Structure 1
Amino acid sequence: MNTQKPTLAQQVRAQKIASVYRHTWTLSISHPIAGALLAANFWDVAHPLPLLLWLAAVILVAVIRVPLYCHYRKHEKDIAQCRRWGYYFAAMSALQGLLYGVAWVAFVPAGDPFYLSVVCLWVMGLSACAVVGYAAEPKTLLAFFIPVVVPGAVLLVLDGSERMQILAAAIVLYGVVILLASAPVYRSIVRSIELNIRLRELSEQDGLTGLANRRHFDETLQKELDRAARRDQPLSLLLLDIDHFKAYNDHYGHVAGDHCLRLVSDAIAGCVRRSGELLARYGGEEFALLLPGTDKAELAVTVERLQQAIRECAIPHQGRNDGEGIVTASIGGTTVEGIHGGYPASPERLIDNADTALYMAKNHGRNQYHFFCGRSGQMAEAEPGTIA
């Protein structure tokens, strides 16, 4: 199944969720402290055992956030699944808020104006903190906000005194105001995220083909090489060059040449099948394809699929003098395998190996592929292959 580029909405959602997860450590520390202060405040008027059990629950929920955050970090690049991680975080926030709501109902002495006033202050403080921390993710904000504010307001209303009625109205009004005030903040955050995404895409995208550009490819190659070394996994690199492209431009013109590049890039992109694979326009009529986790055997299958896809485009090329008549491509590839212990390969070395194999493919008649494969630092002879 072909990988698809995430939509702008998906990327925005992923960054909003990432922004609330960044508060994990703060939440894991601050909620136990807040719970301890609240328990100390109610210690003289509530039974110690339920109060300690409540505090233990607050601490437990705060601690659970940490492994949840660690699991999220392992999967945060999977944008298609980010909505699920958002629901997990919102659920933990709702549980945390519900515990505070339970505290208002369970531990506040009935009719005591002092403790009812304390509840009012806590509700306002917690809701303000929620607006600041969760402004980028409204459902998380509401998941925490509602179970904190509603029980506190209801408790004040049920007291029956005029003063508490006024405090209840003040809490409700305060909640409405800060929620309304958070709306433009949320819109500003979303606009900022969208702008940053568009600017990043412009800086990483080739203007003609829409593929990744050389800069983005070079940055990704270094990251994937480091990842392959850490995980002891193979890493393959392909360089693909359109055969006799200068002759194509001379024969059909540069506008047709640009159209040819777009058709070829689309054909190659259709062969990029796994998450993490990166296709880039490397320069001129040359493309680069980075294949993490792909060994030499899989690389041969991928190369044949690439050349077949280009041939099936059947782009006429009457400017070449070898009798082919259509656009074809030469491919050079390299694979590093068995890199356990930190294989001392560099991005420049991988590119040089693939470029050497590409040169050999072109030097042996074009429309074929050559591999330059290595294991544990020992490079093998280039191996040819052709597509009939």
Structure 2
Amino acid sequence: MLIMETLVSGKPQLNRRINASIVLNLLRREGPLSRADLAKRTGIRSTSISAIVEHLLTDRLVREIGRGKSTGGRHPIMMELNPGGLYAAGIEIGEDALNGVIVDLSGKLLSAESMPLPDTSVEAVGSAGNALLDSLSKSSQISREELSAVGVAVPGIIAKNEGQVIFSRPLGWTSVPLQLLLSAQWGVEVNLLNSAMAGAMEEYFIGAGHGIRSLLYVLVNFKRSRSYHLASLGCGIVLDGRSYVGEGQLAGEINVDIEHPMSAASRRLGDKAPRSLEELFRASREHKEVYESIWNAFAAELGKVISWGMDFLSPGRVIVGTDTLELDEFVRRQTVEEIGARTVAGRVKSLPGVLGFKTPEIVFSPLRQDTLARGAIVPELQELSLTPLLRDSVLM
């Protein structure tokens, strides 16, 4: 099967860029490969493959590693991605800390650290980010001058093309030209990404979404939120390996408020309600009959949101990324049942005699400290390694 299933028309320069991205991504996934392997797997002409490879070798994005096995003729020269071809950093902005990473072209993690935030002002973020980049540079032994770009994950609504944070409830920001401000202060190219989209990209490339072409990612934060009134909910969409934001750059932004289980418990139980998440989890295990309805109400609302996305997108997998491992215990079963009852896929599956129909798998995936920071840099690695960033299209 050819990797390049559709032809892209346009200017020769754009076609060359797209073909180069196809070659790089194939080497990333399946290398080492020879020039003949690349031509066969992609469907790109051998002469074009040779020109692309020479360009990538000159830019140090790939490297030759010796001769491979012969199939009857001369031994082919094998190539692989050159991890040291470029380096980039990813930073997640949280409510009380910045999490940062430096990775190489292959996505390998070279360093990961956190830096506390005194407050969520733009000035505090800029200053802490500067210190974090210095610390990451020191621990990875990659100088800041070697960084090609920094991807920044922000909890809020992002206008990526304009480099602006339109609105962030967790950070208390409105209409902040963050890309311009941070680029000037940090002395490097900065690109913004919604936190949920960062989670989606990390899962797609190295997490629970690996091997799936398209996925729906729902980010649920309990512990990282300072407020127990509403659950922090976000959504990221990956289509054919690319983060999808839509023409209006708002795809995945869901205007839905779901009551936090802590708030629901307080409203129902008054002074007897748990005062921390740990107390809530313990009480939910010890007094299941009291708390089951609280978790079921949350699961029903979460299932409703996921069902909308599944019906519209028909993804290969749904991933619920969360900082709260206990969600798998308390809401997974009810959420899956809710989705099965609400979605077209769930109803079709229940019809008698339906064969060969597969509903998307639903996975609850725990957030690591560096998950969103690593996801923030994935689009930068795609772009920096010549994957086309078509700013007039709906794909980032």
Decide which structure has the larger Cα Rg and report it: 1
Tell me whether the two structures share a fold, i.e. TM-score over 0.5.
no
TM-score range, shorter chain: under 0.3
Greater relative contact order (CA < 8 Å, ≥ 6 in sequence): 2
Greater percentage in strand: 2
